[in-house]
């Protein structure tokens, strides 16, 4: 991990004209930089965000700056019904999807629950991306060169996954532990998706977007936000490096058959051992399908 943080990253300048990319969480930070970078390389953009006003403004900027198609869907990822509706809309649209980037995520310092009594970070960071990926697989298979990228995090190293207490009803919750568990769950299902997609031409990989400035954590209290703005942010890089890395993962010809890998930006890296436990991975796959209403 440390060596990759200092290593030179890969780059490519592949034009994506004629390709359509669906991205989540694109009104700021990593998602916004990815949308701009992909649009600069002539990809059509479909955003999935929770804020309509910000989405309209973002689309206007993409269209006027890069002269590509840009559309958006509204879905609150704490509400799985809305995630299902977004996936269903995409499935029934005449849009060909070439690239799916699940970027939306959040970090909470305290345990909170959704209206469905799901721990919020687990719901947003894992279940929402799981639903979109699962429900869009068949559509993606219609284009055998399509790619799926799960924006994960080195935060998966903070904590493993306790599948008997996903809602943290029995354990003390901290932000780092909850975030680590959700990102571990996402990684474990990436390996399952990769196996399921073998032979289809569709690839799926996960990536850490680098230590960059973003809006993650802005939902927390004033003390956390003050600490983040005055101490954490000054040591973080510009999120444009994440946008460039996501373009590389989405477009580089040398990655056309690479699937089931974890990247630190553009460099392959080995995740923590607890995120490689295939037995637990199969269990969280089944549990996720059940919770998400995909059985």
Do 27 and 17 touch, CB atoms closer than 8 A? no
CA angle at residue 184 from 178 to 185, to 5 degrees? Answer: 95
CA torsion through residues 42, 44, 50, 53, sign: positive
3-class state of residue 96 by DSSP: coil
CA distances from residue 97 to 64, 93, 212, 222 in whole angstroms, order as listed: 22, 10, 28, 40
- Give catalytic residue positions: 179
Average pLDDT, the chain: 92
Instruction: Quickly count: other Cβ atoms within 10 Å of residue 24's Cβ.
Output: 26
The torsion angles phi and psi of 222, rounded to 5 degrees, stand at -60, -35
CA angle at residue 261 from 72 to 158, to 5 degrees? Answer: 85
Do 98 and 19 touch, CB atoms closer than 8 A? yes
3-class state of residue 101 by DSSP: strand
Do 274 and 161 touch, CB atoms closer than 8 A? yes
Please report, in angstroms and rounded to a whole number, the separation of the first and last CA atoms in the chain.
Answer: 37
| Helix pair 29-40, 52-66: axis angle to 10 deg | 30
Alpha helices in 123-168 (DSSP H): 128-141
Query: Which of 124, 110, 150, 135 has its CA nearest to residue 50?
Result: 124
Do 164 and 257 touch, CB atoms closer than 8 A? no
Instruction: Quickly count: other Cβ atoms within 10 Å of residue 291's Cβ.
Output: 21
3-class state of residue 18 by DSSP: coil
**Burial of residue 240 (number of CB atoms within 10 Å: 0-12, 13-18, 19+):** middle
Here the tokens at position 128 are 């929402």
pLDDT tens-digit readout, 116-173: 999 999 999 999 999 999 999 999 999 889 999 999 999 999 988 999 999 999 999 9
CATH superfamily of 2-289: NAD(P)-binding Rossmann-like Domain (3.40.50.720)
pLDDT of residue 63: 98
CA distances from residue 287 to 52, 194, 219, 280 in whole angstroms, order as listed: 32, 18, 28, 10
pLDDT tens-digit readout, 102-130: 999 998 889 999 999 999 999 999 999 99
CA torsion through residues 38, 44, 47, 52, sign: positive
Where would I find the beta strands (DSSP E) of 171-241?
A: 203-208
H or E segment at 285?
helix 278-291
pLDDT tens for the 295 residues of the chain, in order:
555 667 789 999 999 999 999 999 999 999 999 999 999 999 999 999 999 999 999 999 999 999 999 999 999 999 999 999 999 999 999 999 999 999 999 988 899 999 999 999 999 999 999 999 999 999 999 988 999 999 999 999 998 899 999 999 999 999 999 999 999 999 999 999 999 999 999 999 999 998 655 665 566 565 545 444 555 465 556 778 999 999 999 999 999 999 999 999 999 999 999 999 999 999 999 999 999 999 8
């Amino acid at each position: 991990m440390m060596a990759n943080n200092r290593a030179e990253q890969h780059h490519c300048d592949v034009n994506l004209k004629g390709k359509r990319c669906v991205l989540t969480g694109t009104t700021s930070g990593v998602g916004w930089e990815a949308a701009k970078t992909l649009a600069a390389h002539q990809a059509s953009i479909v955003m999935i965000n929770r804020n309509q006003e910000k989405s309209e403004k973002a689309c206007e900027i993409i269209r006027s700056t890069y002269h590509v198609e840009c559309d958006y869907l509204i879905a609150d990822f704490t509400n799985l019904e809305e995630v299902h509706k977004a996936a269903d809309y995409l499935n029934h649209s005449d849009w060909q999807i070439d690239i799916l980037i699940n970027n939306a995520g959040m970090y909470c310092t305290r345990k909170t629950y959704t209206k469905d009594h799901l721990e919020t970070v687990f719901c947003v960071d894992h279940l929402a991306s799981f639903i979109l990926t699962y429900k869009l697989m068949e559509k993606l298979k219609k284009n055998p060169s399509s790619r799926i990228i799960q924006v994960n995090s080195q935060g998966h190293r903070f904590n493993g996954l306790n599948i008997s207490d996903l809602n943290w009803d029995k354990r003390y919750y901290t932000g780092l532990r909850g975030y680590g568990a959700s990102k571990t769950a996402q990684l474990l299902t990436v390996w399952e998706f990769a196996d399921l997609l073998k032979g289809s031409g569709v690839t799926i990989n996960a990536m850490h977007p680098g230590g960059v400035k973003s809006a993650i954590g802005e939902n927390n209290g004033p003390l956390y936000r003050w600490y983040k703005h005055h101490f954490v942010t000054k040591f973080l890089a510009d999120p444009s490096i994440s946008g460039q890395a996501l373009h590389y993962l989405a477009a580089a010809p040398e990655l056309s058959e690479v699937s089931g890998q974890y990247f630190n930006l553009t460099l392959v890296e080995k995740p923590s051992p607890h995120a490689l436990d295939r037995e637990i991975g199969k269990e969280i796959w089944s549990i996720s399908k059940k919770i998400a209403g995909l059985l």
